[in-house]
Amino acid sequence: MLDPFVLRALIGILFASLSVPISVIMLLRGSLYITSEISHAALGGAALGVLIQTFIPSLGDPFLFVIIFCIATSILVSRASKGGQQSLGMMLSVSLAISVMLYAVIRSYLPIDRRVIVDSYLVSDLLLLSNTDLLNLAIASTITVIAAAIFYREFIYLCFDMETAEALGLRTDLYDSLLFTISAITVAVISRMMGVLLSVTLLIIPAAASRLITRQIDRMLVSSFLIAFLSGFGGIFLSLYSHIPTSGAVALISILIFSLIYIIHLRKPL
Amino acid sequence: MNAPIISVRDVSVKLGNQIVLDSVSFEVDKPSLILVLGPNGAGKTTLIKLLLGIIKPFKGSVEVLGLNPFKESTKLRSLVGYVPQKDKISYETPLKVSEVVLMGILLRKRFPRFLSKRDVESAKKALAYLGMEDKWESFFNELSGGQQRRVLIARALASDPTLLFLDEIFAGLDFESQENLLDVLSMLKEKERTIILVEHELEPIRDLADKILVLNRNICMYGEPDDVLSEEKLKPLYPCLRTVEKDGKRIIFLGDKHA
């Protein structure tokens, strides 16, 4: 019988992996790098969420504020990216500065038991996921999977040829914002699982590796899910039998999987 | 009397604070191939976006196929086809030719854009019209530049439009691919389609064009090729213009750089 901590971690990694394929669409959109930048916003959202919850406990879980912060940053960044690299760079540095400032200032005012919650968003431990965390991750992941499935065609058209999509009547601004919103929820989910510092490994590596495996988009989506799940599954068991922290072990396995795929790709390109 | 296919009256367009089109007026009254020329930044692509109803003018009126592109955009977009510049396509998105051509049909449908057997037949027919039926299962980004352009034209034709907007489809193509595209344009002309073709150079389309519209924020010249194509008229717009005699024919190189 599995230990409840391990079981929750495994269920958590399943939900996180389900939301990973949206990173493949962001990769095709040429905006994957933005997801790792958006993850910084998770930290500011967590700090603000914990602060508000400390004074008004009825306002819900800090994870809600993490999602709101990530979505707001994501949409602002998507708008800024239309103004060129300079405005995009500005927006990314502003969001990072605000998040770090919120984290540092709010953390210093929080009691120690509340600080731990904020810190768990910086460096997370999968084995400490609570039932509430799992419920939050399940809801957020389900939203991303359903939305991505419903609007899959529109997102792919945006990635391939935004100009024609707009010319033929697709509301490209609306769908682009929707894509960035779903991606922001994925960032929030992965940040909760892995912590902001290591979230980048599950946000970027499975999507990047999937492109080396196949040229078909549907297969890229499935393989990114499998790589993320395998990384999480392997990482959890590696950490159980070694002294490596769980998130670090997941990151390590994902890097190993990517390296292996990369070497195979070099020897036998698609 | 029939309404003109395109009617643009005293239209001015701003992008940001800059006036990109200034008091532009012209009409297309019968099915024809209109070649739109102009130096970089002349507003050629903006003109296409204006006619498609994507960009609104701050002055003047536009009518396309008897419709107001800004108020009746859904109806208009079901009647037009569009091929963008090649650098607007993401070659990193690995779509099959079939998916690219079907995009032209599905985008015109209402959400959730269910694919029917008839849609697949229409897409295959459009691809066959361009002589590319054997590429149905190929990846778009693995085709040559000329083949990609033909697939994009097939996508534009898949829903049988009456009006086609083609933005620099000859740019960067080799001679053979250009010849293939010229054949395609000839076929479309025979079918009485109206084609608005934006290009940087006159050749190789000159002989096929019914009218030439030279744009530089406003209409500098609009008329039949023989009336428009004189060195004296074009030189102020194209200082690097060169003419070459070949086989008794005078070929004009405008010498404008690609955007």
| Domain locations along chain B | 1-79+162-175+191-259, 91-161
**B1-79+162-175+191-259, CATH topology level:** Rossmann fold (3.40.50)
Q: With an 8 Å Cβ cutoff, is B90 touching chain A?
A: yes
Reported as a single tens digit per residue, the pLDDT across A18-61 is 999 999 999 999 999 899 889 989 999 999 999 999 888 888 78
Q: pLDDT exceeding 70 applies to what percent of chain A? A: 100
Q: Do B95 and A153 touch (CB under 8 A)?
A: no
Q: At residue B2, does pLDDT exceed 80?
A: no
Nearest to A153 among B54, B89, B113 (CB): B113
B163 forms beta bridges with B80, B194
Name the closest residue on chain B to residue A25, using Cα atoms.
B93
Reported as a single tens digit per residue, the pLDDT across B81-132 is 999 999 999 999 999 999 999 999 999 998 899 999 999 999 999 999 999 9
Q: At residue A151, does pLDDT exceed 90?
A: yes
pTM score over 0.95 = no
Q: Which residues contact A15 (CB under 8 A, 6 or more apart)?
A: A134, A137, A138, A140, A141, A189
Reported as a single tens digit per residue, the pLDDT across B23-33 is 999 999 999 99
When scoring B74, B95, B97, B114 by the number of chain A Cβ atoms within 10 A, the one with the most, hence best to mutate, is B95
Q: If you count residue pairs, one on A and one on B, with CB atoms under 8 Å apart, how many are there?
A: 67
- CATH numeric code, A4-196: 1.10.3470.10
Q: At residue B212, does pLDDT exceed 70?
A: yes
Mapped onto helix, strand or coil, the DSSP state of residue A75 is helix
Q: Please, which pLDDT band fits residue A1 given cuts at 50, 70 and 90?
A: low
Mean pLDDT of B226-240: 80
Name the closest residue on chain A to residue B73, using Cα atoms.
A169
Q: Do A216 and B92 touch (CB under 8 A)?
A: no
A28 neighbourhood in chain B, CB within 8 Å: 90, 92-93
Per-domain boundaries in chain A: 4-196
Nearest to A169 among B73, B83, B155 (CB): B73
When scoring A164, A216, A220, A221 by the number of chain B Cβ atoms within 10 A, the one with the most, hence best to mutate, is A164
What's the CA dihedral at A116, A121, A127, A132 to 10 degrees?
Answer: 90
Reported as a single tens digit per residue, the pLDDT across A188-205 is 999 999 999 999 999 999
C-alpha distances in Å from residue A135, one per residue of A42, A131, A139, B200: 18, 6, 6, 58
Q: Please tell me the predicted confidence (pLDDT) of residue A58.
A: 83
Q: Please tell me the predicted confidence (pLDDT) of residue B1.
A: 56
Residue B91 burial (C-beta neighbours within 10 Å; 0-12, 13-18, 19+): middle
Q: Which residues contact A140 (CB under 8 A, 6 or more apart)?
A: A15, A19, A63, A67, A185, A188, A189
